[in-house]
Amino acid sequence: MEEGTASKRAAGRFCSICTQRKPALRRPKTLEQICRECFYAVFEEEIHNVIIKNHLFKAGERIAVGASGGKDSTVLAYVLSELNRRHGYGLDLFLLSVDEGITGYRDDSLETVKRNEIQYGLPLKIVSYMDLYGWTMDEIVKVIGLKNNCTFCGVFRRQALDRGAAFLKADKLVTGHNADDIAETVLLNILRGDIARLSRCAYIMTGEDGPIPRCKPFKYTYEKEIDKYAYFKKLDYFSTECIYSPNAYRGFAREFIKDLERIRPQAILDIIRSGENFRISTTTRMPEQGICERCGYISSQKLCKACVLLEGLNRGLPKLGISRIKAGNDGSGRPDEEPTRRGREVERPILESKPCGTLDF
C-alpha cells in the first residue's frame, strides 16, 4: 500500500505525458499535469486536428486572420503561421484589423497588431468605422450612451471584417472565437429565443453560401489554455478590456459559464455539443437570406441591420433599429411613426444617409 502511494506521488512530480520533465501547468480542459513542451505540442496538435478533420482550408487559399491585438487573435495568427509552415497547408495569410475609433483602447491595440505584422511576417490591412460608416464608436457612444453601444459595434464590426476580407480578395476569414465564446453564444441565443442564430452559432464554419466563409479553428480550445500559451510563449498581445463593454449582456453569460467551469471543466464542451445537436422543427419559419437594397450586404430584410442603425445615426434617431421605432416598410429607413412630445411633432434634423460600406464585394 505504501509502495503504491509512493509511486503515485513520484508520478505526480512529472509530466503526465512525457513522464520526464516537471509539470508547469494543469490543463483546464483535462486537468492533466503537463510540462511546457508537451503543452505546446498538444495545444498545437489539437488545433491542427480540428483544421484537418473539418476541412477548414484548401491549398492556395488566401486567408484573412481577424486580428484585434488581443490574446486570442494573436495566438491564432502565431499558431496558424506555425502550422501552415510545419504541415504545408499552402495558405496565403493576411492580418485584418478593424479600427472602431475607441480612444485609449483600439488605437493602442492596433499598435500591437502592427508589431505582430513584423514579428510574423504577415501583411496587415486596417479598415475603420470612420471610412466605412462616417462614424467612430466614440462619436456613437456620445449620442447613444453606454446601454446599447455594443449592438452598434457588433453589427458594424461584423460587416467591416467582411468588407476588409473582400478588399483583400480573401477566400476565407478566420477569427479567434474560442470554446468559451461559442458556449456563451449558445447560451445567449437560448436566453433570447433566437432560433435562427441558435441553429448555426455552434458551426465551425459559417457563411459558406455567402461571399466569404468564416471559420473558427479555436472552436474547442479553452480561453484559459490560449492565455497560458500566450504567456509561456511570451507573445506580444494587448490585454486591456474595451472601455465600453463592462455592461454588455454577454458579460453575464460569461460569468455564468466560468462558474460552471469551476464545478465541471467539461461544461464548456457540453454546451457546445448541445448547440451542435439542436434540431429546428421543419415547421419553424426561418428568415430568408437576401441582399440589402442599399449596400448589397447579406440581409434577411430590405435593409441590413448596419444600414438601419446608420440611418438612425444620420437622421438624429440613434435608437432606430434597436427600439420600437422601426424602419418604414417602403425601405427608406424612415420610422413608421415620428416621435412626439406632448402631442406635438418633434423636429429632428434630416441628414443625408450614406450606404453602410464603401468597400465593394
The verdict on whether residue 98 carries a ligand-binding annotation is: yes
Q: CA-CA distance, 259 to 187, in Å (whole number)?
A: 14
pLDDT digits (tens, 9 = 90+) for 160-219: 999 999 999 999 999 999 999 999 999 988 888 877 778 788 999 998 877 799 999 999
CATH topology for 40-277 is: Rossmann fold (3.40.50)
Using a 10 angstrom Cβ sphere, with 0-12 exposed, 13-18 middle and 19 or more buried, the burial of residue 317 is buried
The verdict on whether residue 181 carries a ligand-binding annotation is: yes
Please report the pLDDT score of residue 323 as a whole number.
Answer: 61
What are the extents of the domains in the chain?
Answer: 40-277, 288-352
Please report the pLDDT score of residue 342 as a whole number.
Answer: 35
Please report the pLDDT score of residue 341 as a whole number.
Answer: 34
Q: Bigger pLDDT: 147 or 133?
A: 133
Q: What is the mean pLDDT of residues 262-269?
A: 91
Q: Bigger pLDDT: 4 or 131?
A: 131
Q: How confident is the model at residue 290 (pLDDT cuts 50, 70, 90)?
A: confident
Kindly provide the b/e burial profile for residues 64-73, where b requires at least 16 CB atoms within 10 angstroms of the residue's own CB. bbbbbbbbbb
Cβ atoms of residues 155 and 309 within 8 Å: yes
C-alpha cell at 211: 461571399
Cβ atoms of residues 88 and 48 within 8 Å: no
Q: How confident is the model at residue 7 (pLDDT cuts 50, 70, 90)?
A: very low
What is the CA angle 137-142-146, rounded to 5?
80
Please report the pLDDT score of residue 282 as a whole number.
Answer: 72
pTM, full prediction:
0.84
Q: CA-CA distance, 110 to 96, in Å (whole number)?
A: 11
Q: CA-CA distance, 60 to 167, in Å (whole number)?
A: 18
Q: What is the mean pLDDT of residues 255-272?
A: 91
pLDDT digits (tens, 9 = 90+) for 100-110: 999 989 989 99
pLDDT digits (tens, 9 = 90+) for 151-175: 899 999 999 999 999 999 999 999 9
Please report the pLDDT score of residue 5 as a whole number.
Answer: 47
> Scanning the structure block, which residue is given the C-alpha cell 455552434?
202
Please report the pLDDT score of residue 12 as a whole number.
Answer: 62
Q: What is the mean pLDDT of residues 5-11?
A: 49
The verdict on whether residue 68 carries a ligand-binding annotation is: yes
The verdict on whether residue 108 carries a ligand-binding annotation is: no
Q: Is the pLDDT of residue 361 over 80?
A: no
Please report the pLDDT score of residue 357 as a whole number.
Answer: 59
Q: CA-CA distance, 290 to 296, in Å (whole number)?
A: 9
Q: What is the mean pLDDT of residues 270-296?
A: 83
Q: How confident is the model at residue 240 (pLDDT cuts 50, 70, 90)?
A: confident
Please report the pLDDT score of residue 356 as a whole number.
Answer: 62
Please report the pLDDT score of residue 195 as a whole number.
Answer: 78
The verdict on whether residue 67 carries a ligand-binding annotation is: yes
